Structure 1
Amino acid sequence: MKFSEQWLREWVNPDIDTQELAHQITMAGLEVDDVEPVAGSFSGVIVGEITALAPHPDADKLRVCQVSDGTMTHQVVCGAPNVFEGMKAPFAVIGAILQGNFKIKKAKLRGVESQGMLCSESELGLSDNHEGLMVLPESAPTGTQLRDYLGLDDATIDVDLTPNRSDCLSIRGLAREVGVLNRLTVSEPVIEPVAPVHSDILDVRVRAWEACPRYLGRIIRNVDLSVESPVWMRERLRRSGIRSIDPAVDVTNYVMLELGQPMHAFDLAELDGGIVVRMAESGEKLRLLDGQEISMSEDTLVIADHSKAVAMAGVMGGEHSGVTEKTRDLFLEAAFFDAIAVAGKARSYGLHTESSHRFERGVDYRLQRLAMERATKLLLDIVGGEPGEIIEALSEEDLPEAAPIHLREARVAAILGLAINRTEIEEILTRLGLHIDKLKADGWLVAVPSFRPDISQEIDLIEEIGRIYGYNNLPVTEGVGRLSLRPHPEAKRPLARVRDHLVSLGYQEAITYSFVDPKAQQLLNPEQQGIMLANPISSDMSVMRTTLWTGLLKTLSYNQNRQQQRVRLFETGLRFVKEGEGIEQEPMLAGVVCGGRLPERWSNARGNVDFYDVKGDLESLSAVLGLRLEYRPGRHAALHPGQCAEIVHNNQVVGLIGAIHPAIQKSFDLDGAIFLFELFLNPVLTGYVPNFKEFSKFPEVRRDLAIIVSEGTSYAGVETAIRAQAGEYLTGLRVFDVYEGGNIGEGQKSLALSLFWQHPERTLNDEEVQDLFNRVVSHLGAELGATLRS
């Protein structure tokens, strides 16, 4: 929130300079982002009055002005399109210095002498507006220094509030904080009830009490909106980052900045019958004040009349019922909208307004009547009019209710590391506007005011005491606690082990968003519906990911577009899938590989990575994790048919590996052979516990076996069959040749394997080994239809 330092000091004026004030606010937990002057550096600029105007004799776009400084008249040549006789504007006299150390001197413009300069807002550093002269009110005293008249020796302070501190989204709230920090009384403006002069009321009905427990309205007749808002109001709005529009809008914005209550003014003539606060009908249309037409959903709260919606509650009014210069009767509203009911609604329609910013964070539910009286008085002073009675629709049971909080003295000392005097704690709580209802032996019972919706539990009160006491005043203490060692299963592998090993294999870790493009995800994982976000950052980040491949392929595309052809990326993170009525978050490991098998170098063999390189990386990882993974043919929409395998552990499918499907590769605009893998982390992070086994001193026996099996038989099946009959002394099994074609026969292949046996305590004899070998051959024939190759 941006605010004027001068405005704040009208409420509370500590004896500290601007920088100290900003530091004090920051140290109280309200971070100051920026402090900047409200105007550029200039001097010698006064309020000038144009008493006469004549065309330039030698230039169509220039005019010769006679400008009074209150005592004498100066001739000034001016090219501004909005200059007129009787106008009051900033006048830089001879010797004045503008921004950039630009000194005003006598000059001749196309042969006519000019004794000074009439200024625009941009030339004074007030805004970027350079289209014409800055127009000052007729009441501006001629000859007065402009800095004094507009109070330009001021600073705009920009505070970056955390979402919980909605009470500080106003001058009133900030003044309350500064007053507490400096032990000063806040001088609030006296706001007296405005007496009604007519009894006209509007029919107000609330059909959504939970979303709108309190709604106030008032009719003000015979206003004159053709007048201009006073310069002091326009300046305060400008210094808060809000543009002046017309008196009705300016007053509601001013009250919002001053007190923290968003308000809205309707053109009474455009309201049909009365006001109805209700939920929108599905597809109901509303053209907003910014000209945008939206189609609303049923969960959107609206302000309607008896025939149509006229505003999106807490966000923006409708164009049809907006005030104009022709408006003669106003209907002024101030409401309390439940923060949950309006949260995210503005963003869901691509909007963000000062009102929605406040209502989403929580507005004081007792502030509406005070704001109505303040806005009424300001409007009457500026545009005149005749106020009616305040109409209030109220549901007490739907208003928030803050239960008293039990604050323990010992808990304050334990959390802050300091025993603060009871009297000082009570003083801090009282200065914060909290009420100590009942003293307890071990502490206090504290009632929370309506303007602090962020305080709901004991720790919140302790935080308040700590920040007001001063974080810098709290001692540095070492925490003391009794801790016991947590058991760590030896078979459980840390995730860091996975990351470190993949990095050692040449991979780089990527971290991508959990929010992904629904179209890309649908291509990669059409069988699972992504979970839509209620308030997405953008349309291409609107669903939660069901696979990590979506982000990795986008990252791969980014790298390839920057001439990085050899890419090895992995990511560990959560995927999000619907599980009944809930959401299941599953830890995953995924990777993408493309490019050369080895980095390009004169000594390295050339050749691109293939399926078996990636499979080898996973087998290397499984060895580190103490796992025995199996691979069997599989199918997946994102992977190439025939180049896709399921990864199996303990007869459970724990992942996939394969080449990307050509259609998906084209969709992502990727080049070259690309391979993907993805594993569920939970089942693969637990492996066997390493144990020592003594080396055998006795010789190893080797037997070679060549078998013919059908082409579709997997090596995993062959290995399982061999190990089932090879006995406990089998120490090794290797494939050293695969052959197809020739005299093997169509649809078949030959596998040549080496089997190794070794006994730990003696030498194996030939009869024992031959018996095991024969059992293996027999079992292969029975199980897989394998025959010995002659």
Structure 2
Amino acid sequence: MRVPVDWLGDYVELPDGVSGAQIAADLVAVGLEEEGLHGGDVTGPLVVGRVLEKHPEPQKNGKTINWCQVDVGPANGTGEPQGIVCGADNFDVGDLVAVILPGGVLPGNFRISARKTYGHVSSGMICSARGLGLGEDHDGIIVLPRLLGEDHAAQLEPGEDLIAVLGLDREVVGVNVTPDRGYCFSLRGIAREYSHSTGAAYSDPALLPVDPATGGGYAVELADPGIAPLDGVPGCDRYVARVVRGIDLTRETPEWMQRRLLEAGMRPISLAVDVTNYVMLALGQPLHAFDLATLQGPVVVRRARPGERLRTLDDVDRALDPEDLVITDSGTRVLALAGVMGGEDGEVTPGVTTDVLVESAHFDARSVARTSRRHRLTSEAAKRFERGVDPAVTDAAAQLAVDLLVELGGGTPDRAVTDVDQRAARGAVELELTMPSRYVGVDYDPGRVREVLTMIGCTLEEAGEGWVSVTPPSWRPDLTDAPTLVEEVARVDGYDKIPSEVPRAVGGRGLTHAQRSRRAVAGALAGLGLHEVLTYPFVGPDRFDELGLPADDVRRDALRLANPLSDEAPLMRTELLQTLPESLRRNISRGTRDVAVFEVDTVTRPATGLRAPVPGVGARPDDQTLEAIRAAVPLQPWHVAIVAAGQAERSGWWGSGRPVDVTDVVAWAHAVADTLGVRVDRRPSDRAPFHPGRCVELTLADGTPVGWAGELHPQVVQRLGLPARTGAAELDLDVLISASDHRTQVAPLSTHPMASSDVALVVTRDVRFGDVEESLRAGAGELLESVELFDVYVGDQLGADQQSLAFRMHFRAPDRTLTTQEVNAARDAAVTRAAQAHGAVQR
């Protein structure tokens, strides 16, 4: 929002000689953001120039420049034409233009000097609106008759100073209006905020004599009861229609109004348009004018119907959506997109239109915002409506527009005034007067709280001891509850009064057992030489085929995102191994051959057919709705996955290396369980995407699955672009953490010596050594400290289907030195248990 300082002074008392910088600082003090200062930074000579000659000269780069001779009168000291190079082409010989001569300075401290360019010495510059800081138009240079009007421009002579004419000696303050401060999209709102900041006397421009609503005015029907996406809120709850007849719209907009529009960043167009824009800038209420002669029946505000179209004023034919709120003639012919832009039907045309219907209405902010975004159509009206316009100023804005049209266009207003007002009463907010002090940490006196709330326009009523009932002003739709009122107290009283204090950390319980466990697992794997990575959890349905998952595999039942980042990956992963191999492939493709990576993250398991309700945003959902939302949230267990390829031990002068194999990934999987103090068992398994003969399943002692580890299937490796014999593992961390005992039990160390005994058992080849080991543990009893397999023999001394497994068993007692008889008895008991379970025979 560009705020001309002299216009601001019409509504609030400004100190003599106050600068734009000081005004901006005062506005920043009440929470408005300064966007920039304009004006006052252009120094001459900036003069009127008349184009005498214009010679287009094509360049090698495809661009065409114009070598011009411009009459600048006596401003250059010689009276001779000035040679200037200009890249724009929107002017002709004889046009009056704005010329800045060498020695002048443009905004941004851009100094002008004579310089050689495109084979000519350019002595100055023909200026654009953007170059002078008058707006963002940079498509061409300023042609003064088009900017100021033919009559005004005709009074100008070459060489005449333009700084005062263009208002460049007047300052304009740029304010960035945030979405919750829509009332500041007007001089009325900015002046009020300046008054809050400085205490200056404020005069509300909306407090003007308004003709009361009467019967017999132009018929208006509000036929929109509201639609579901907007919680049934009507798209329009107030519509004021005023008729002015006999207007001469060929009259030129007065210079003072054109100047203010230019300074505010809007280009003067015609009297009717300029008047509506002026009122919008002054009061914040967008208006629209219709040619009364083109209307055949009542104005009907409704939602668009399927198949309806509208050619808007920007000359674009638009297909309307059933959610679009439209203004229609008799409910049939669409005249405008409500609150966004008018249409060509009903457009006011100077020289043709004499009678106009002035529309001043209040449209729902969400409805306008959706329409604006749906059609990618941003207008000054839409910017204001989507942030919230004061519904109480609707009639005053229409009255001001009518008064200006009568004064400047010579029209006559109809006595009948239409004001269809269906506004709902706004509820009050209960506020405890000590609440601002508790929330902000500043001791606000209750009297100061009342003063601030009254200052911003609230109405206060007593509501009990220490409580007030606050009714926010009509121009503040953002004040909806007590915390927003607290924020206003802090803002107006001054953010600078809030001390900067570092919050004191309160005592807590620290990390949870699950958090500590996940950190411990990550630290253990990193300590073993693996690198932790983070992958995106999104996959496409083709990934399941690449991993060789069966058609009925539950891992294919993935959650589909309603708005995915990529259409190629619309699903949430159900295992980390669906995304982690991509990290391995990427690293290898960039030249890193020996890679072992792991990831600790969540996977997503869809809930069983539950769908979360979508509550409205107007109030906190009830407990039942919140419970339904929580129940519909899919399960997201924590997993850890490992993928590795290349050399586990690199070769060098110390010897040959060793490639990563199944034993490495299985050992890393065991390291995860060991870190959490959980004992897991292994057994052969056949599970995609692993090699069926080189995969083991890890389970708890009770058989609960923990995960799988092994070598990826050769076909999977080929489809994913990974090296041959790539190893992988994935474990369910939640299962391991639940099984771990976070109250660590420390066993006392025994000072007595350990006794060892070896035993070799002959079993058939289909017997797993792990099963034999379990039998030995179970038979040996509590004296057994550990057992390890140290040799496997298959040869001529055994049968073709037999193998010899040699175990070393370590025994120790916590309170004494074991005797030979005790060790032998425990060993024999272990052998007996293995013989019973597996038919083992001691060699």
Smaller-chain TM-score bracket: 0.7 to 0.9
For 1:335, give the aligned amino acid.
H
Contact 1:576 1:585 in 2 (8 A): yes
- My pick for the range that moved more, 425-434 or 61-70, is 61-70
How many residues end up aligned between the 2 structures?
767
1:619 aligns with 2:670: yes
Aligned counterpart for 1:210 among listed residues 233, 238, 245: 233
3-state DSSP of counterpart to 2:195? helix
1:530 maps onto 2:588 in alignment: no
TM-score (ref. length: structure 2): 0.70
Q: Displacement, 1:691? A: 1.5
- Look up the match of 1:337: 364
Q: How does 1:371-450 map to 2 (within 5 A)?
A: 371-373=397-399, 395-397=422-424, 401-409=426-434, 411-438=435-462, 440-450=464-474
- The structure-2 alpha-carbon separation of the partners of 1:454 and 1:601, relative to structure 1 and needing over 3 Å to count, comes to farther
CA distance in structure 2 between the partners assigned to 1:232 and 1:748 by the alignment: 109
Q: Which residue of 2 aligns with 1:44?
A: 45
Give the 3 Å change call, closer, same or farther, for CA 68–485 of structure 1 in structure 2.
closer
Q: Is the 8 A contact 1:263 1:335 kept in 2?
A: no
Going from structure 1 to structure 2, the CA distance change for 1:41 and 1:707 (only over 3 Å counts) comes to: farther
* 1:570 aligned partner: 599
Tell me, yes or no, if the aligned pair for 1:47 and 1:88 is still in contact at 8 Å. yes
After TM superposition, list the pairs within 5 Å mapping 1:123-134 onto structure 2: 124=132, 127=136, 129=138, 131-134=140-143
Distance between the aligned counterparts of 1:418 and 1:474, measured in 2? 6
Question: Structure 2 matches for 1:358-377, cutoff 5 A?
Answer: 362-373=388-399
Match of 1:583 in 2: 633
Instruction: Classify 1:617/1:240 alpha carbon distance in 2 versus 1 (closer, same or farther; 3 Å).
Output: farther
Match of 1:176 among 189, 192, 209: 192
Q: Is the 8 A contact 2:780 2:827 kept in 1?
A: no
User: Residues of 2 paired with 1:434 and 1:631: CA distance?
Assistant: 73
Question: Paired residue for 2:97?
Answer: 89
SS of residue matched to 1:406: strand
Task: Name the CA shift for 1:564/1:770 in 2 (closer, same or farther; >3 Å).
Answer: same
Residue of structure 1 aligned with 2:156, choices 120, 129, 142: 142
Q: Work out whether residues 244 and 406 of structure 2, in 8 Å CA contact, stay in contact via their aligned partners in 1.
A: no
How big is the alpha-carbon RMSD for the aligned residues of Structure 1 and Structure 2? 5.8
Contact 1:68 1:142 (C-alpha < 8 Å) held by counterparts: no
Name the CA shift for 1:181/1:69 in 2 (closer, same or farther; >3 Å): same
Q: Provide the C-alpha distance between the structure 2 equivalents of 1:225 and 1:780, rounded to a whole number of angstroms.
A: 108
1:640-667 superposed Cα distances (whole Å, 9 cap, x missing partner): 7777776655654566667778888888
Task: Tell me by how many angstroms 1:90 deviates.
Answer: 0.8
Structure 2 residue aligned with 1:732, among 756, 776, 786? 786
Matched residue type, 1:212: G
What pairs with 1:681-720 in structure 2 (closer than 5 Å)?
682-686=734-738, 687-688=740-741, 689-696=743-750, 697-704=752-759
Q: How far apart are the structure 2 equivalents of 1:452 and 1:235?
A: 30
Letter of the structure 2 residue corresponding to residue 336 of structure 1: F
**Is contact 1:598-1:606 (8 Å) kept?**
yes
1:504 and 2:522 matched: no
Q: Which moved more, 1:220-229 or 1:755-764?
A: 220-229
Can you give the 5+ residue segments of structure 2 that lack an aligned partner in the other structure?
Answer: 59-64, 227-231, 548-554, 612-631
- In 1, are the aligned partners of 2:580 and 2:643 still within 8 Å (CA)? no
Aligned equivalents of 1:405 and 1:302: distance in 2? 34
Cross-structure match for 2:825: 767
- CA displacement, residues 412-457 of structure 1 (integer Å, 9 cap, x when unaligned): 4344444333332222222222222126432433222233333333
Q: CA deviation at 1:267?
A: 8.2
1:776 matched to 2:834: yes
Check if 1:470 corresponds to 2:494.
yes
Larger Rg: 2
2:202 corresponding residue in structure 1: 186
Deviation of 1:241 (Å): 7.2
Determine whether 1:157 maps to 2:174: yes
Deviation per CA, 1:710-769: give whole Å up to 9, x if none.
Answer: 87x888777666655554444334455689999999999997765544443452331332
The Cα shift of 1:18 comes to: 4.5
**Aligned counterparts, 1:484-523, within 5 A:** 486=509, 493=516, 495-507=518-530, 516=538
For 1:75, which of 56, 81, 85 is the aligned residue?
81
Secondary structure class of the residue paired with 2:163: helix
Structure 1 contact 302–310 (Cα < 8 Å) conserved: no
Q: Distance in 2 between matches of 1:238 and 1:601?
A: 77
Q: Contact conserved, 2:45 with 2:104, CA < 8 A, in 1?
A: yes
Contact in 2 for aligned 1:93/1:115 (Cα 8 Å) = yes
Contact 1:706–1:751 (Cα < 8 Å) also in 2: yes
Letter in 1 for 2:668: D
Q: Could you say what secondary structure the match of 2:516 adopts? A: coil
Change (3 A) 1:108 1:730: closer
Structure 2 residue identity aligned to 1:773: V
1:214 aligned partner, one-letter code: D
Query: TM-score if structure 1 supplies the norm length?
Result: 0.74
**What is the one-letter code of the residue matched to 2:224?**
V
CA distance in 2, matches of 1:253, 1:643: 77
Please give the residue correspondences for 1:588-737 in structure 2 after superposition, counting only pairs within 5 Å: 588-591=638-641, 593-597=643-647, 606=657, 609-610=660-661, 612-629=663-680, 648=699, 651-653=703-705, 682-686=734-738, 687-688=740-741, 689-696=743-750, 697-704=752-759, 727-735=781-789
Aligned partners of 2:649 and 2:658 also within 8 Å: no
Label 1:441 to 1:737 Cα distance change in 2 as closer, same or farther (>3 A).
same
What amino acid sits opposite 2:237 in the alignment? R
Deviates more, 1:227-236 or 1:16-25: 227-236
**Maintained 8 Å contact 1:74/1:116:** no
* Alignment CA distance shift 1:625-1:767 (3 Å): closer
Find the counterpart in structure 1 of residue 302 from structure 2: 277
Which residue is equivalent to 2:113?
A: 103
Per-residue CA shift, 1:561-611, capped at 9, x if unaligned?
655554635354685844613223635345564554569795796565455
- Given that residues 289 and 322 in structure 1 are in contact (C-alpha distance below 8 angstroms), is that contact kept between their aligned partners in structure 2? no
- 1:84-140 per-position Cα deviation (integer Å, ceiling 9, x unaligned): 4663321335754556422359x99999x9987543446546557264444432324
Counterpart of 1:784 in structure 2 is none
Q: Tell me, yes or no, if the aligned pair for 2:764 and 2:803 is still in contact at 8 Å.
A: yes
Aligned-partner Cα distance in 1 for 2:580–2:260: 49
Identity %, equivalent residues = 26
Shift of 1:546: 6.1
Deviation at 1:45, TM superposition (A): 0.4
Higher strand share: 1
240-249 or 422-431, which moves further after superposition?
Answer: 240-249
CA distance in structure 1 between the partners assigned to 2:646 and 2:348 by the alignment: 69
Q: Is structure 2 residue 482 aligned with structure 1 residue 458?
A: yes
- What SS does structure 2 have at the residue aligned with 1:142? coil
Which amino acid in the other structure matches residue 81 of structure 1?
D
CA distance in 1, matches of 2:272, 2:793: 88
